[in-house]
């Protein structure tokens, strides 16, 4: 059952792009086993005065009673709609790199990765520091 709300909608567009990104990067292929869903928000969001383009949210175990996903990637359309498709893909690549896993007592648990510096090294190496502006 899909239940869009006034401000939040499931998005096939970003899901398809993210799957392209995963396909194109072998180091991301393990994500095929992670349950990720993609949602757009029409609410605006800023952090420290800067526009937030997207965020990667780990779904807590108890929440999975209601939503069968490990992570949700939220895209803030107010800040992204004017950007080209290729930049959307970079943004998704960035958000996908936030998905991490760690091993504890022989059990794998998902975690949210933090940026290497102010960004992920892999993103800067592939697209440059100013990747969001092309
Ligand atoms: Zn980030």
Residue pair 44/76 in contact by the 8 Å Cβ criterion:
yes
pLDDT at 26: 97
Q: How confident is the model at residue 133 (pLDDT cuts 50, 70, 90)?
A: confident
**Which residues, 6+ apart, have CB-to-CB distance to 43 below 8 Å?**
7, 76, 78
Q: Comparing 20-24, 45-49, 101-105, 108-112, which segment has the lowest mean pLDDT?
A: 45-49
Return the higher-pLDDT residue of 3 and 51: 51
Q: Is pLDDT of 108 > 90?
A: no
What separation in Å is there between the alpha carbon of 63 and the centre of ligand 1? 22
What is the chain's alpha carbon radius of gyration, rounded to the nearest angstrom?
15
81-84 contacts: CB < 8 A, separation 24 or more? 83/132, 84/134
What separation in Å is there between the alpha carbon of 55 and the centre of ligand 1? 7
What separation in Å is there between the alpha carbon of 108 and the centre of ligand 1? 22
What separation in Å is there between the alpha carbon of 58 and the centre of ligand 1? 13
What separation in Å is there between the alpha carbon of 22 and the centre of ligand 1? 17
Q: Between the CA atoms of 58, 74, 116 and 30, what dihedral angle is there, to the nearest 10 degrees?
A: 60
Domains in the chain, ordered, with CATH?
A: 5-127 (3.30.2010)
**Cα dist. 55→41, 92, 103, 112 in Å?**
11, 9, 24, 11
Residue pair 48/123 in contact by the 8 Å Cβ criterion:
no
């Amino acid at each position: 059952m899909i239940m869009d709300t006034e401000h939040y909608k499931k998005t096939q567009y970003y899901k398809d792009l993210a799957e392209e990104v995963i396909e194109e990067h072998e180091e991301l292929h393990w994500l095929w086993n992670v349950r990720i869903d993609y949602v757009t928000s029409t609410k605006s969001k800023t952090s420290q005065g800067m526009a937030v383009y997207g965020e990667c949210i780990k779904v807590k175990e108890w929440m999975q009673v209601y939503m069968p996903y490990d992570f949700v990637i939220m895209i803030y359309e107010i800040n992204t709609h004017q950007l080209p498709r290729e930049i959307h893909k970079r943004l998704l690549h960035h958000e996908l790199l936030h998905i991490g896993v760690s091993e504890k007592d022989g059990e794998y648990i998902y975690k949210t990765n933090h940026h290497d510096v102010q960004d992920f090294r892999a993103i800067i190496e592939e697209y440059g520091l100013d990747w969001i502006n092309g």
